[in-house]
């Protein structure tokens, strides 16, 4: 999904989401010009700097509240939350963990599923 945060500042994210109480229908068009409430990026060597430096700055400046980074090589999820001081890590979990990760804390999530593991249920 392509999101335009400022004129000519477009990010192509792996996954994005909006709170239903703020955005009733999934935004359409390209690029989307509605700030997401959650962004998730899957890290790779070719995009590491872009995701960990450039996009973190862009998302901070746009006040995106939650930023997830998936590290596929290590099978780790890191959840960042934005506050007045900037980004803070609120959760780090491995593929063996079951978590309640912001902003989806009402749902238990087996982290391994994010990396393609079968759901045991």
pLDDT (tens digit, 9 = 90+) per residue, 9-68?
999 999 999 998 899 988 988 899 999 999 999 999 899 999 999 999 999 999 999 999
Give the dihedral sign, CA 93/75/35/83: positive
How far apart CA 61 and CA 49 sit, in angstroms, is: 17
């Amino acid at each position: 999904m392509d999101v335009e945060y400022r004129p000519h500042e477009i990010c192509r994210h792996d996954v994005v989401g909006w709170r239903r109480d703020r955005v009733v229908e999934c935004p359409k068009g390209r690029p989307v010009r509605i700030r997401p409430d959650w962004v998730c990026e899957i890290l790779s060597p070719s995009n590491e700097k872009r995701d960990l430096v450039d996009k973190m700055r862009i998302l901070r400046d746009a006040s995106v509240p939650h930023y997830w980074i998936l590290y596929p090589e290590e099978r780790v999820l890191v959840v960042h939350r934005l506050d007045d001081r900037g980004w803070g890590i609120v959760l780090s979990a491995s593929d063996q963990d079951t978590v309640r990760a912001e902003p989806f804390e009402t749902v238990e999530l087996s982290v391994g599923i994010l990396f393609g593991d079968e759901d045991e249920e």
